[in-house]
Structures are given as C-alpha cells and as structure tokens.
Amino acid sequence: MTEPDKAARSDRAHEWRAIFTGRLGLYTLLLNLGTGLFAINQFVVATILPTVVGDLGGVRYYAWTFALFAVGAIIGAASSGPARDAVGDRGAFVGASVLLTAGLAGAALADDMLVLVFWRLVQGLGGGALASQAYGLIAAMFPERLRGRVLSLLSTVWGVATLLGPGYGGLFAEYGVWREAFSGLVPLGLLTIWLAWRFVPASDAHGKLSRLPYLRLALLAASVLVLSLTSQVDTTATRLVLIAISITLAAVAFRRDARAERSMFPKKVIAIATEVGAAYWMMMLFSVVSTFVNVYAPLHLQRLHDMTPLIAGYLCAIPSFTWTFTAIAVATLEGRKQTVAIACGVTLIFLGTIGLAFTVVPGPVWLIATFMSVVGFGIGAMNNPTIQRTIEAVPENEKHIAGISVQTMRTLGISFGAATSGLIAVAAGLVTDDVPRDVLADAMAWVYGVNMIFGLLTLLSLIPFLAGYRRRIAGQI
C-alpha cells in the first residue's frame, strides 16, 4: 500500500473515531437513540397487536393504530421545521422526545382500544418530529466532512430496528404482557430527553409557529380520519358518503398546497399525466400495497396459520429485509438500468400482491413469506430510483421540497392504506373480537384480494411516468 493510500485510510479511521468520541459521540448517541426509538416502535406494535386485541378487544379499531400513527407522523414531520424556528434546536428535540415518551407510557396504561389509538397518534406526532429533526440536527452539530458517516449510521438504525423490533415485541407477546413492550421503551425515551436537554446546543428562536401549514395538515388528517370512520359504520351508503368526503378533503388539501407560497409538495404532485405526478402516485400506491400486506399479517399468521407471535413478527419483517437488500443493490444504477429497475420493481409488487391473494388463507406459510419477499424486492428496486427521477424532473426551486415531501407522500399512503384495509376487513365481517376462523379467513381473502387492485394501479402508473420521462429527455437533447 502506498503512503497516500495509508494516509487516506488513516483519515477515514480518524473521522469514524471522531463521531464516536467526545461531544460528537454524545450527539451521535442522541440522534441514533431518538431515531431508533421511533423505528423500533413501529415493528414492536405490529408484532404485539393481535395480543393487545385479545386483551382489550376492539378489533374494529385494529387498523386505526397504524392509520392514526401515520397521521401523527405526517403532522410531526411537517411541524419540525417551524417548531425549531419557534423554540430552537434544543426545545424542539426535547419536545418531540417528550411526546414520543408520553405516547409510549400512555399506551402501556391503556385500558381500551380507542385510548390506545389516541396514544398511538401521540407517538406518531413525537416520532415523526424526532426523526425529521434528527436529520436536521446533523447539519447543526457535525462538520461537513463527518455528515455522510452520521447519515449512514441513521440509515443503519432502521435495519437494526428491523432485526430487533419483532423479537422484542414477540417476546412480550409470547407471554401475554404486551404493556411491558411499551413501558420497556420508556426509559430509553427518558434518556433521550435528558441527553437532548443536556447536550443539544441552544439556537436562536422567535417563539412563533408561523410557518406551519395548519389548514392543509388538518385537511389531510381529516381525510384519513373520515376514511377510517368507514370501518365503524354498517351501511354501504354511509361508507360511500364517507369515502367521497375523504377524497374531497384530500383534493382540497392538495389544491390549496399547489397555490401556497410555501408548499409541502411540488406543484404537479397529483397530475398523474406528468412524470412528477405519476412518480408521487407510484410512491403513494406502493405504500398502500405495503400497508395492506403488513397491517393484518401478524393476525392471520397467528390465528389462521398457528404461528407464534415471535415467528409471525419476523415473517412480517421479511419485506423490510428484502427492501433494504435490493435498495443497496440498485443504489448506483443510472440511465436505462435505472429505468429497468423501476419497471421491474412495480412488476414485482403487482406479482407479489397476486401471490398473496391466493395464498393468504390456504398457505403454506413459506409461500406467503415468499410473496411478501417479492413485494419487498419490488419496493426496494423502484423506491430510490423513483425518488432520484422525481428530484431530477422538478424545477430547480422545487428540488428541496421534492426531496423532503416524498416521505410525506409515502406516509400518507400508509395512513390511507391502513384506513382502507380496515374498511375492507370490517365490511367482510371482522367486527367482533371472537370472530370465527372462517370469517377471519374471508376477511383476509377480501383484504388481500383488493390489494391486487392497488398493485395493478401501481403498475399502471408506470405508463405515464415513463412517457413523461421520455418527453423530458427528448426536450434536453
């Protein structure tokens, strides 16, 4: 090895040491602890929820625990910037940590499913703000040469959460002590609060939450809430009215955003005939598909296929594993290869939904796991390339918004997916806590059958996306 190579290796090693030692090491611990707490909580809840319903009842609200959490995460993430401006870095991070910790403690004490749903909303508010602020604080607390390494560590936290979350939740669910799964995370939340209060630097603040898009966020939240209400009514006419109201509220929110001076999304976000619009539709639709796959998976794996909570939890984590693996594999693709990755991805998503629809009830479990993997491979193949194409396609003044808002659109897809899957499950008969096995099987057949439609829509959105891409490339030549 040449002397320059040795010097370069020594510099890289020194930079890695720098982010783990001294005050920077405390910053690294804090950011990863906050992000990890938000991440692991999502996998824990999915694993323990069948046990929670068995204890508290309220199976009608099963999907609400995901839908309201996602709504909270959207609002929390959107408010993180204005909150930082209002109370500074320290106050914003401490406030987000307090909300998440309070949500965990409240869920541990819940004696009713609706109470649990409320605390899940609080968890989403705190967790969404915490994750968003963690990325923002990297620029404030780390020199530029170290930021890439810290970002990579935050990405790794999600992989660690995928590994640990199902096992952590599964162990508590195995013994029927689901409350301890929440309360066991509270000390980590308290540690995050203390570290943030003690070590996050103070910054300038003006004390006003003036930039928060209150009305647009309220409209989007109301849209999800109204859609979620469809699982609580019993007549088709009422459900259709609620669905129409939900769509109208979402349309008004996006229209107002397109006219806003400080928009949350690029201007053409819902114009599906454009490259940008089609990309956002694809991202929302695959999030709906993913949510349909995951929301009821622990329930049917445990009750229809006699899996233990621990095994069911890890089976549900399979799409996350395959998603991560494929995302790494396609990370460096460009040009035509990137296009192929996107096309293959949406095709795999559709094929996975077909396979799950035909195996979710009869099994076998290994085949269900295979098709869950196929969906994960598909999302991993198309997600990051689609985001890159979206950022390339928007005007220069919207590139920053595009980079931030893709996660908001995906979270919206999760919330709408949870609400819609809940509607279908309840309409198919999943209305009582002691639902017979055959009724549960029918409900799952409907949920995963309808998911094929969303898989097909994801695939079809590829057509205007590619057409828009060709027009853009032709215009550049």
DSSP 302-329: HHTS---HHHHHHHHTHHHHHHHHHHHH
User: Residue type at 79?
Assistant: S
Amino acid letter for position 390: T
- For residue 155, the model assigns a pLDDT of 64
Token output for 80: 């993180």
Q: Which two tokens stand for residue 215?
A: 């009305």
Series of mean pLDDT values for 10-residue runs along the chain (477 residues): 50 65 77 83 84 87 86 81 77 90 94 92 89 73 71 70 80 86 92 88 65 80 86 84 90 86 78 87 92 90 90 84 82 83 95 96 94 93 84 75 73 86 88 84 95 96 90 73
> Which pLDDT does position 9 carry in this prediction?
52
The residues near 237 (Cβ < 8 Å, ≥ 6 apart) are none
End-to-end CA distance of the chain: 44
Predicted local confidence at residue 122, as pLDDT: 94
Helix, strand and coil in the chain, % to nearest 5: 85, 0, 15
- For the four alpha carbons of 99, 133, 281 and 341, in that order, the dihedral sign comes to negative
Alpha-carbon distance of 257 to 269, in angstroms, equals: 10
Radius of gyration of the chain from its Cα atoms, rounded to whole angstroms: 22
CATH topology of domain 1-211: Growth Hormone; Chain: A; (1.20.1250)
pLDDT score for 220: 85
DSSP state for residue 137 in the 8-state scheme: H
Predicted local distance difference test score (pLDDT) of residue 457: 96
Give the Cβ contact number of residue 206 at 10 Å: 10
Q: How far apart are CA 292 and CA 305, in angstroms?
A: 18
Return the sign of the alpha-carbon dihedral for residues 307, 313, 316, 319: negative
Could you tell me which of 278, 311, 285, 312 has the C-alpha nearest to residue 297?
312
The CATH fold assigned to 262-477 is: Growth Hormone; Chain: A; (1.20.1250)
Residues of the chain with CATH 1.20.1250.20: 1-211, 262-477
- Asked whether the beta carbons of 256 and 216 are under 8 A apart, the reply is yes
Return d(Cα 477, Cα 472) in angstroms, integer. Answer: 9
